Each structure stands twice: as C-alpha cells, then as structure tokens.
Structure 1
Amino acid sequence: MDQFPKVSICMITYNHENFIEEAINSVLMQECNFEIELIIVNDCSPDKTDDVIKIILENNTKASKIKYFKQQKNVGVMSNFAFALKKCSGKYIAICEGDDYWTDPLKLTKQFNFLENNPKYIIHSSNAIQLSDNFDLNYKPVLKDITDKTFILDDFLIANNIITCTVMFRNDKIEFPSDFYKVTFGDWMLYVILLFTSNKKAYRTTECLSVYRIHNGGVMSNLNDLKYFKSHINQILIIKKYLNIKRFSNSAIEILNQYSLESFRIEINKRMYKEALRTLFGNLYCSKFKIPFKKYAQSVKNYYL
C-alpha cells in the first residue's frame, strides 16, 4: 500500500444527520489496493450531523482514513466546497456529498484504473440511481442514455452532463476564479474549469455506481421555477465570462432566451413587474427573442397607471 493517498474523497455536508452515516460507510466499504482519504467538511450544520460524524470517528475501525473539518460559522455551499477540495491531497479526487452514497464497492477502483490508463481524460463519471424523499428507491437510472459518452468543454457551456456523486477527476492544480463563489452549481463550474485548464476530456459510463438522493433539504429541491431559470442564466453568463467567449453560440442563445422568457412569464404571473421588465430588457440576447407582448402588455401597463 502506498503511504500517501492516491484518491481523496471530497464530502461536503450540511443538515445531513439522516444521511451522512450511509454516505460515509459507502466510502469506507471501498475495496482498493491503494490508499484513500475521506475529507468531510461540515458547514456548521445546526442539526446533529456533527454528532453522527463524531460517533463514526470514535467507533469505526477505518476512521483513520477520515479527516474531519467543521466550519465555525456557515460559509455557504460554494465556499465550503472550495475549502474541501483544497484539503484533498490525492492524485485523484472523487465527490460524494453527505446526502448521497455509493453502491459499488469497486467504484473507486474502476475509476482509478480508467484514469490511470486514459491520460487524455481528466474526468470519469457514471450513471446513478435516483432516491426520492420518501425513500422510494425504484432503481431507475437518473440518465436515460444507453451508451457511454465522451464530452469536451463545449458540451458544458450551457448544461451539466454528469452527476456529482459519480465523479472522479485528476487533482491538477485548481484555481478558483472569484465568480466561482457566485454560481449555484459549483460542480458544473468545477468541470468547466478542469476541462478548460487541462484541455482534456470527460467520460461517462452508463453503469450505475451511486445513489443520487432528492430530498427537501437538497440544493436542487430548494430551487423553485424562477430560481431555477435565474440560476441557469447566471451560470451560463459566468461561464462565458470565465472562458472569455466573445459571442454566444446559437444553441446558447436559444437556451438563454428560453430561460429568460420563462422567468419573464413567471414574474408577470406573480405581478413582479419591475423584475419582469429587468428580465426582459436585460436578457435580449438576439433579435429572435420573442416576447408575447400582447399577452402581458396590459398587465405591465396597469402597474404603471
């Protein structure tokens, strides 16, 4: 066994007292012929997440593999994520958030072997099983694709194509731009940074190695329709700025226009007229952006009368 870890597992957690034990155990059950370390960073959870982790540290025979950090105050998801990644010292980093877990004891070995044998790839990921808030594990894959896929940077400009709890990537020196802390989807931004700085590719297999949990306390569950569209607009604009893209592609324009129009409709229906006008005039990405003026003009007019 090597003295230093070959794989670091990055696990951020917040209010995961009901899930964190399963997540930790799924990491410690991994069968590897290389050293691993599990980096857990608790973003000052007000629930009993800290108690659960401490019990594991005191009683689990593999607790020596765990390095546990607890923030003294809540720093937010992006800052906590960046902090955890910087604590990882392995050649590779795998991600498993505190509300997800792995199902295959050979997950790390399979991904380690792939990256060792395929130097042109910086990311390896897989499919996952979706687990709903009512613990309905129906064994339906999150992704419907039936073929393995290779992705390049352009594939991540307007969408995330991989599931966080399935990812392993090369621990190249990561420089976080200041705008990293302004995005909602830190994993997506991380992949953009990795692909851009390395000029390598990402690989996704259809094999299900993990469970992706959907629950009321999750980041995605807390995005209502308006926040969902606004967050995606913001993410795409930050990616454009980071990559210094001068002009949007037609596909990016189409997506931005779609998200902007949906935001506009929701804001009008909620009588958020100032916000709607800001969305309308702040997100005209091309002349083909079609706003249903006749349908909504009277509502806006009434606001100013």
Structure 2
Amino acid sequence: MESNEKTITVSVEMITFKQELYIQEAVEGVLMQQTNFDFELIIVDDCSPDSTAEIIEAIIKNHPKGDRIKYFRHKENIGMQANGVFAYHQCNGKYVALCEGDDYWTDPLKLQKQVDFLEANPDYVLCFHSVNILNKDGTIVEDFITKVPENYETLETLARLGNYIHTPSVVFRNIIKEFPFEFELSPIGDYFLYMMLAKEGKLKYIEEGMAVYRYGVGVFSSSSDLSMIKSNLKLFTCLLSYFNEEKINKIIFKRQLESVLALELSLHSKYSDSFVSNHIFFVLLKIVKCNYKFPKRMIKKIYYKLKY
C-alpha cells in the first residue's frame, strides 16, 4: 500500500518573538523558494504579546503555499534556546534551514543551491553563504559584521575565531538527536549549534548574498560591551563543559581567559571612581582567572579571602 505522505527534504526552522514588523517578509522569503524537492516551514512563536500570531495565521489561510507552514505557539514564554530546541524537534526534513523571524531570504533558488551542494558532498555537514546587512536607516549594504577566514571549513578554525556564520544563511544535515543540557544554558545558541555540527563534518561557504540580516534588531545587536563579555564567558563555560577534545578545549579555554581579562578591564574603566584595584571583587576575579583549572584550590582561596 502506497503512502500519501510527502518526503520532506528541507525543514525551515523559524523561531519568533515580538516580530510583528518583520515576520511577514521572513515567511514570504521562505515560501517563494523554487525547488525540485518538498520543504516545510516550522514556525514556533514564543508567546508573542503583539500581533505576530495574527499575521502568521493570516498567511497560512491566504497564501497559496500556506499549507507548507506548521505553526506552534507556546502558551508561556520559554526563552530563546528552549524555543529553538523545541522547533528543531518538529523538523522532519533530511536537512534543516534557519531563518529567524526578523531576517529574510532574497534568492528564490537559495535552498536548491545549498541542498544540491550537500547532496553531492557527503563529507560536508553545513552550508552557509554571505548575506547583506539592513541598517536601521533602511539602507542595505555588504556584510560589515563578519569576515569568513581561510580554512573556514574546520571545527578548529570555528573554535579559534568565533562565529563567522549568519543564521539566515545556514542549511545543515538533520543529524542532532539530542541537545546537551549546556546548550539551553548557553546565552548564544547559534554558535554553539555550529560547533556541535562542525564535530561531524566540514563547513561550506557559498559567496553569494542570498539573505538579509537586520542590524540592530536582534537580542545581541543592541547589547552593551559588558553584556557581550558576560555572555561570552557563559558561552565558553558551556562549551568547555560540552567538549571533551583537548585540542578544542585549549582553544576555548584561551578565549575564556581573554574574556575574563576583557571583563576586568571593562569594569576597571567603567567603575574606576567607585572601585580601587585591590577591591575584593578584583581580588576574587584574579583568583578565578589563575585557578580556573583547579576548582578546589580556587574555592579554598576565595573562602580564605572572604573570611579574613
């Protein structure tokens, strides 16, 4: 007996929260894709308090390709990483493409090009491409945020240089069976995801601008330098807990120490009138920096300083 179910080649994962101004353009960029395979659009709304839900429901009802959309809306806000994990587990495709609700695709052949490459090159696990940047003043310019390095294909390069992959450019093999607990604790999910994937194969860069990233709109676009340093520290801590490869852990640990130094310098600069260099906060920060690999020694020193 033949099954009437379609085989889904690509699941497009779109998480959204309070993006009523942008969600329609994001959805239409996906639905305009021209492919020789079937794809689905998984939209997961993290309990948006604005009209995001109404806009999505109208698209599903009125768009000629609205039946490709599977829409989920949480009754309570669960947070970005948990929302992303939930969305991923709704994806049935052989491949997963990413496009958050405030970005959009511009090339109708984007999915076809990336899937064609991954189908022909089984040693590659992820394919990404260049994007254009939409500034707050409405101008669209070339990417000034990231620079794709030489030897970009490997886990080691990604670990050493940080994230040079824009989320709306990504298509990857649907191979992650389970997310580690560290993923949901990490304040930065996309880079953590790419690091997980890079363990399993190479990365491919296509030098074509096939999507637009909105600058100054996302969660981290408007974060202060201090907030970014704190987020990086949490990210590196989670990655150190997750990875068990000495070579990669050494790279991550070095970057974490650099973030500790940046935090110290930032606080000295920001609060120089309030703190002196031997303030207990900076003493404790120095203990953490020097004894991170020896937690028992670190705890004993902190206890001694606080007690005496």
Shorter-chain TM range is 0.7 to 0.9
Q: Determine helix, strand or coil for the equivalent of 1:221.
A: coil
CA positional deviation for 1:4: 1.8
Which residue in the other structure is 1:281 paired with? 287
Q: Determine helix, strand or coil for the equivalent of 2:131.
A: strand
CA positional deviation for 1:136: 2.2
Which residue in the other structure is 1:260 paired with? 260
- Residues 2-151 of structure 1 mapped to structure 2, 5 A cutoff: 3-140=6-143, 142-145=145-148, 150-151=152-153
CA positional deviation for 1:214: 1.6
Alpha-carbon distance between aligned partners in 2 of 1:213 and 1:285, rounded to the nearest angstrom: 40
CA positional deviation for 1:133: 2.4
Q: Does the 8 Å CA contact 1:37/1:67 hold for their aligned counterparts?
A: yes
Backbone CA RMSD of aligned residues: 2.5
Task: Structure 2: give runs of 5+ residues left out of the alignment.
Answer: 293-308
CA positional deviation for 1:78: 0.3
Q: Which deviations, in whole Å up to 9, do the C-alpha atoms of 1:199-231 show, x marking residues without a partner?
A: x11111221111111234x11124211111121
CA positional deviation for 1:67: 0.2
Which residue in the other structure is 1:300 paired with? none
Q: Determine helix, strand or coil for the equivalent of 2:71.
A: strand
Alpha-carbon distance between aligned partners in 2 of 1:10 and 1:264, rounded to the nearest angstrom: 38
Q: Does the 8 Å CA contact 1:257/1:285 hold for their aligned counterparts?
A: no
Task: Structure 1: give runs of 5+ residues left out of the alignment.
Answer: 287-305
Q: Does the 8 Å CA contact 2:46/2:74 hold for their aligned counterparts?
A: yes
**Which amino acid is the alignment partner of residue 152 of structure 1?**
T
Alpha-carbon distance between aligned partners in 2 of 1:139 and 1:161, rounded to the nearest angstrom: 14
CA positional deviation for 1:193: 1.6
**Which amino acid is the alignment partner of residue 202 of structure 1?**
L
Q: Quick one: percent identity of the two aligned structures?
A: 35
Inter-CA distance 2–106: structure 2 relative to 1 (3 Å threshold): farther
Q: TM-score, normalised by structure 2?
A: 0.84
Q: Does the 8 Å CA contact 2:125/2:202 hold for their aligned counterparts?
A: yes
Which residue in the other structure is 1:301 paired with? none
Q: Determine helix, strand or coil for the equivalent of 1:175.
A: coil
Which residue in the other structure is 1:293 paired with? none
CA positional deviation for 1:246: 4.7
Which residue in the other structure is 1:163 paired with? 166
Alpha-carbon distance between aligned partners in 1 of 2:236 and 2:181, rounded to the nearest angstrom: 15
CA positional deviation for 1:184: 1.5
**Which amino acid is the alignment partner of residue 227 of structure 1?**
S
Which residue in the other structure is 2:238 paired with? 238
Q: Does the 8 Å CA contact 1:2/1:34 hold for their aligned counterparts?
A: no
Q: Which deviations, in whole Å up to 9, do the C-alpha atoms of 1:155-182 show, x marking residues without a partner?
A: 2324123111100000114311111111
Q: Is it true that 1:223 corresponds to 2:229 in the alignment?
A: no
Alpha-carbon distance between aligned partners in 1 of 2:159 and 2:148, rounded to the nearest angstrom: 20
Which residue in the other structure is 1:153 paired with? 155
Alpha-carbon distance between aligned partners in 2 of 1:285 and 1:202, rounded to the nearest angstrom: 35
Alpha-carbon distance between aligned partners in 2 of 1:136 and 1:67, rounded to the nearest angstrom: 32
